[in-house]
Structure 1
């Protein structure tokens, strides 16, 4: 820590998310003390997060903890923490591919990785799962340059491209060992290409898949069905009891309407994502390529190449996803890559509140 009252912090946008980035050495080593501090920093629990950095939504209540890596395949370790908005909870049960776009530049800014004279590639170990990624971005003159002409849906304006390549993970692409499962009469495909995800045909749940996130969140019957499906899918995917976690993600899929390959509505796990997470999109892109899966008849895939354009509520996300057949006859990931952007918003000292965190509904 920089002192008894403040903590060094960089607020960054990564992809379509926003989060607070910290060096691990600037936070308490004890996880419980660290999480209590982060709740105070972000202003949780409070629906508005009025007393902290959080933006009153899961997509803007995120934290990256970065440190040098002891893994010879990585330069840095990246621990992602999801800080709940209206509950005193901090979860490390998932990755975040959007904030991932910010941690490479952050590592260069903090001196963990030397900058190249033109471009810099940062090898990243994602502590939450042990997976790896390589983020490459411009550093002309040895400084991170956030300006550029790359445009991503859900973010106004343009910025420098952050190219992220994911080597194949060690776990199975299809965690259940099947291209298709059935849960409570609903056909699903369970896939993990960086994020445990359940693909569900929207019409199987009585919706079109083109509704706005607000419309879907207001559907109490749908919410209960999704809850039941997620709990059952978690067991099928070997994740155990997922009632207290944010994975697996549930993604409703429908045929594309705007020239893409597939339309999506993703739940995280109760709120409907206003776009789609990078790692979730990587799993969707791989999942709709699985022959016999629930997306096979819905997706309109390109005749050649690995590019899959995934439509979401605020635009689209392009994922390069290629599959091949593994020794057991099931598909495995051959290549996954994506272009994101990132921006440094604020660099300085954040001051956590000093009063104890109160549970939701408590006096404020």
Structure 2
């Protein structure tokens, strides 16, 4: 055989999709692993025509699963963001949407046994250290995918998957406010640099001359905005202790604006060189924390927010995402205790994906 076969599941998790692989079926060396993932996805072509990617950042994500090395967790979830066109792989971030599919995938792979009508899968996000309890609907030892839950940005309905995130603060930088400030001014733009589930640089849309209600396509066409945003992101990353991030998707960038459709606030999330068509699960947690925390750029912008645990409806380009955040404020201290979301996932395909032996000959 002139190609190396690798078993995989192909799944939609939340509003993203990609291959779910066993970590043990892949190279351990990061450089060799990156080459294999680039070949699987087909990075280097705008349509990923020579791989199974979908030509967009939300469809060039990879989940790698293994039995957990953590006493609390059942499964270790190692994430990789593969670029669409540049042949790059970023192992720094995690992805909350792809994480939605980890519970079902772990059951499908036999890493976790299904129990009763609901099976809890305890997940450790290797990239950030976050711990997530995933409640997956099961029946007769198998995952149930059909159901009545609907999430904006995904057609139809499916079985709900309830997620509870813990240990989400400081996974990448070690602290909630990596610069030491709740607001920094960079290139005359006020930003809050925060690390909750995902390190982010957050600003008010109005400071860029935007309403914050623009569509993803409208924002993507505004190259002047992207150039200015990237300059701010690059400088913020240095202040956050993340160094040169010109080839890294983190920190992500987010914009806040007053709600337009009855939600808590309007948000726009960037990946970072393109607008997210909806909203990342990780990004929703950081943006939500920014809205709840006194002294940030989001302070006073949220509408209809109650005490902890606060339920937030974040308006994104294709609808809303609901996130529930348990938090505590004592004097000047703000703590995020846990975050809850309900999303859906679906198994799309299963089998073998092939890479040329010139890239990897297998174990």
TM-score when normalising by structure 2: 0.93
The 3 A distance-change label for structure 1 pair 3 and 107 is: farther
Tell me how far apart the structure 2 counterparts of residues 3 and 341 of structure 1 sit (CA, whole Å).
38
Matched, 1:30 2:29: yes
Give CA deviations for 1:241-297 in whole Å, capped at 9, x if unaligned. Answer: 222211111111110111111111111111010011000101111110111221123
The 3 A distance-change label for structure 1 pair 335 and 170 is: closer
Give CA deviations for 1:202-239 in whole Å, capped at 9, x if unaligned. Answer: 11011111111122122222111111110111122222
Task: Look up the match of 2:194.
Answer: 191
- Contact 1:52–1:352 (Cα < 8 Å) also in 2: no
**Please, which runs of 5 or more residues in structure 2 have no aligned partner?**
none
Task: Tell me by how many angstroms 1:103 deviates.
Answer: 0.8
Task: Look up the match of 1:310.
Answer: 314
Paired residues, what number?
355
Task: Look up the match of 1:360.
Answer: none
Comparing 278-287 with 205-214, greater Cα deviation is found at 205-214
Alignment of 1:90-169 (within 5 A): 90-169=89-168
Alignment of 1:319-338 (within 5 A): 319-325=323-329, 329-338=332-341
- Contact 1:152–1:340 (Cα < 8 Å) also in 2: yes
Task: Tell me by how many angstroms 1:170 deviates.
Answer: 5.4
Tell me how far apart the structure 2 counterparts of residues 297 and 184 of structure 1 sit (CA, whole Å).
23
Comparing 237-246 with 102-111, greater Cα deviation is found at 237-246
Matched position secondary structure for 1:351:
strand
Task: Tell me by how many angstroms 1:306 deviates.
Answer: 1.3
Tell me how far apart the structure 1 counterparts of residues 2 and 340 of structure 2 sit (CA, whole Å).
40
Tell me how far apart the structure 2 counterparts of residues 238 and 337 of structure 1 sit (CA, whole Å).
29
Task: Tell me by how many angstroms 1:353 deviates.
Answer: 4.7
Matched, 1:173 2:176: yes
Matched position secondary structure for 1:273:
coil
Task: Tell me by how many angstroms 1:162 deviates.
Answer: 0.9
Tell me how far apart the structure 2 counterparts of residues 235 and 165 of structure 1 sit (CA, whole Å).
31
Alignment of 1:1-364 (within 5 A): 5-169=4-168, 171=170, 172-304=175-307, 305-325=309-329, 329-353=332-356
- Contact 2:169–2:197 (Cα < 8 Å) also in 1: no
Matched position secondary structure for 1:333:
strand
Tell me how far apart the structure 1 counterparts of residues 96 and 242 of structure 2 sit (CA, whole Å).
20
Tell me how far apart the structure 2 counterparts of residues 90 and 32 of structure 1 sit (CA, whole Å).
9
Give CA deviations for 1:340-360 in whole Å, capped at 9, x if unaligned. Answer: 100000011112356779xxx
Tell me how far apart the structure 1 counterparts of residues 18 and 130 of structure 2 sit (CA, whole Å).
21
- Contact 1:286–1:322 (Cα < 8 Å) also in 2: no
TM-score when normalising by structure 1: 0.93
- Contact 2:169–2:336 (Cα < 8 Å) also in 1: no
**Please, which runs of 5 or more residues in structure 1 have no aligned partner?**
358-364
Task: Tell me by how many angstroms 1:298 deviates.
Answer: 2.3
Matched position secondary structure for 1:78:
strand
- Contact 1:98–1:278 (Cα < 8 Å) also in 2: yes
Tell me how far apart the structure 2 counterparts of residues 178 and 22 of structure 1 sit (CA, whole Å).
40
Give CA deviations for 1:27-77 in whole Å, capped at 9, x if unaligned. Answer: 122222222121111111111111110000000011000001111011111
Tell me how far apart the structure 2 counterparts of residues 83 and 62 of structure 1 sit (CA, whole Å).
6
Tell me how far apart the structure 1 counterparts of residues 196 and 50 of structure 2 sit (CA, whole Å).
36
- Contact 1:41–1:353 (Cα < 8 Å) also in 2: no
- Contact 2:2–2:357 (Cα < 8 Å) also in 1: no
> How large is the Cα RMSD of the aligned pairs?
1.9
Task: Tell me by how many angstroms 1:4 deviates.
Answer: 5.1
Matched position secondary structure for 2:149:
coil
